[in-house]
Amino acid sequence: MPACPLNAFFSTAQRARYLGAIPHRYSCRSFAEPLDISHISALSYAAQRVCLPGVRIVIAECRDDLFFGLPIVGRIKGMTRCAYIIANMEEKHAALHAGISGEAFILEAAAMNVGTCWVSGSYRRSAADVELHENEKILAVTPLGLPREDALPPQRSRKQLKQICLEDPTAWPLWAYHAAESVRAAPSAVNMQPWRLHYAGHALQLLTNGKTNTLDLGIAMLHMEAAMEGRKHLWEWGEGKTVAHLIVEENE
């Protein structure tokens, strides 16, 4: 099975920070005030450290009309900056790399109490003020700003753990169970949660449920990676419906 560039990419400190930020991250659509220079500097530094091969994250000023409203959730408003998550589509696994890198960036922002929201469709391409290189494509955008104090996080709706695991996860090693819990908390487009988990032979396998969104599956991989914290582990790409294998020896 081919190796994955996620191996040894994030430090133990980064993984611990992401795991700690997961419960506090939510999709923020209403911002009280723009970021100050310290936030922008810290986020720019984070953006440079989280990008897998073929991915760029560009922080830029944005106009009010970049995002348009959707039924039920409404329009994003109050921000003056955004981050474009860009991938070179010639790179193998480009969208998975973008999901991994983009979620790492979003969790870095959550650790700084900066509001974000994954947006892959409801923005105006004509208003995206970013220069693309050859073969590049914007795969997602997130607004950036300080959340309104009166904008309470929406109540999370997630499938039960047994609905995303092919076996009873309580029979798995503890590390695999914790990784599954981390995946359960991962965001996905219209909350479809298009993944399944299977444990076999020291490996936790991430599978697509057939409703494939490779950005979402990359996000799930980052959540699995965060759950490893300081544990020794190895990633390998899968084939067919198996997206990737996360391997940990039993004595770990």
The pLDDT tens digits along the chain (252 residues) read 667 999 999 999 999 999 999 999 999 988 988 899 999 999 999 999 999 999 999 999 987 789 887 766 678 888 889 999 999 999 999 999 999 999 999 999 999 999 999 998 888 888 888 999 999 999 999 999 999 876 556 666 788 999 999 999 999 999 999 999 999 999 998 788 999 999 998 999 999 977 667 999 999 999 999 999 889 999 999 998 999 999 997 664
Q: Residue 171 region, left (φ>0) first, then alpha (ψ -120 to 50), else beta?
A: alpha
Same domain, 94 and 201: no
Closest CA to 57 of 4, 145, 130: 130
* Residue 207: partners with Cβ closer than 8 Å, 6 or more residues away: 166, 195, 196, 197, 198, 238, 241, 242, 243
| 22 lies in some domain | no
Same domain, 56 and 167: no
Domain finish residue from 118, 147, 176: 147
Same domain, 102 and 42: yes
Instruction: Report the CATH number at residue 167.
Output: 3.40.109.30
| 152 lies in some domain | no
CA–chain centroid gap for 109, Å, is 12
Spatial distance between the Cα atoms of 65 and 168, rounded to a whole number of angstroms:
46
Spatial distance between the Cα atoms of 205 and 243, rounded to a whole number of angstroms:
7
- pTM of the shown model: 0.94
Structural domain count, the chain: 2
| 76 lies in some domain | yes
Domain finish residue from 119, 147, 175: 147
User: Which residues, listed in sequence order, are joined to residue 145 by a DSSP beta bridge?
Assistant: 115
> Which structural domain, as residue segments, surrounds residue 242?
161-247
Q: Say if residue 221 is exposed, middle or buried (CB neighbours under 10 Å; 0-12, 13-18, 19+).
A: buried
Spatial distance between the Cα atoms of 142 and 101, rounded to a whole number of angstroms:
13
Domain finish residue from 147, 170, 189: 147
